[in-house]
Amino acid sequence: MRNAKQKQDLPTGEQMTIRDFVDTYFHHFNAGEVRKAAQSLAQFLSDGGKIFLTLAGAMSTARLGKVLAPMINSGYIAGISCTGANLEEDVFLLAANSHYQSIEDWRSLSADDDTDLLEKKLNRVTDVCIPEDQAIRAIEKTIFSLWQEYSTTQKSALPHEFFYQMLLKNQLTIDGNPDESWVLAAAKHNLPLFVPGWEDSTLGNIFASHVIQSDIDPSVVKSGIHYMTELAKWYESQTTQLAFFQIGGGIAGDFPICVVPMLNQDLQREVPLWSWFCQISEANPSYGGYSGAPPNEKITWGKLAKETPKFVIESDATIVAPLIFAYLLE
């Protein structure tokens, strides 16, 4: 009877929201850190702050857009830094969703199986395949015409601006759900987007191939230096506190967080440090990489302060990030 009474005292079934679930059952270790981070970030947003999000890994192909697009539409996101892969793979899904193939038993695949996928023009990302023709080559045709136009007229733009133009001018055939595309949501809100190292992406490689063939002037697509100067202007213009929410690490995280010490130390200007910090990563600090670097290390670089709220969730971002975003959206 005691167990039955306990069940009655807890929210159950349709009464239990995601926020109820996290607040009730997430107590210690990584679960406890998820709860504390979600509660802290909810209060931060309630107090008028906003999130600067960084995306590494294959988060777009993991369909983070399903919950990130609502976050953008709700006004919680002030800006995003992402890899070139995350930028393009969200749009790949939008253009060719019905042609994606899931691989149920992907751990059992042999080299022959993967060779077969190659011959079928299916590019595997763990347990899902991106279709070469319907996604990559279809978008190449559209964006190549934009590159050519800019090359002919001697104009230039940042990588994400070409994507914004394609989407806002309806130059792309839509196959997926527009409500689940975070890049489309970002374009509609003209959200500040920063894509350092864009060349390290499928369309970045394709752009380089056209430059090598002298089809396009290389100055058509602006570089990471342009992104850093735009980021510096943007950061200095902010009047609200910014939470640095880092998914993974790598260049998508390190590039934007460095704008603060650059402004304060290299340019001798006075800007506030990032006001809140959370990283979701399974990287180990002992390897010396940025992805596993603990938050306190960032104090020594002038990125965070001693009193900055800091959270480290050592878990799978494809599980944790949607959970926290859903928590905030309720």
CA distance 40 to 54: 18
Closest-CA residue to 198 (of 45, 86, 312) = 86
**Residues 6+ away with beta carbon under 8 Å from 325:** 67, 68, 70, 71
Written as one letter, the residue type at 24 is T
Residue 255, judged by CB atoms within 10 A of its CB (0-12, 13-18, 19+), counts as buried
Domains present along the chain, CATH in parentheses: 48-98+132-317 (3.40.910.10)
**Contact criterion met (CB below 8 Å) for 55 and 81:** yes
- pLDDT tens for the chain, residues 1 to 330: 445 444 455 555 568 999 999 999 999 999 999 999 999 999 999 999 999 999 999 999 999 999 999 999 999 999 999 999 999 999 999 999 999 999 999 999 999 999 999 999 999 999 999 999 999 999 999 999 999 999 999 999 999 999 999 999 998 999 999 999 999 999 999 999 999 999 999 999 999 999 999 999 999 999 999 999 999 999 999 999 999 999 999 999 999 999 999 999 999 999 999 999 999 998 777 777 788 888 999 999 999 999 999 999 999 999 999 999 999 999
Written as one letter, the residue type at 150 is Y
Calculate Rg over the CA atoms of the chain: 21
CA distance 54 to 254: 9
Strand partners, 313: 280
First to last CA, the chain: 33
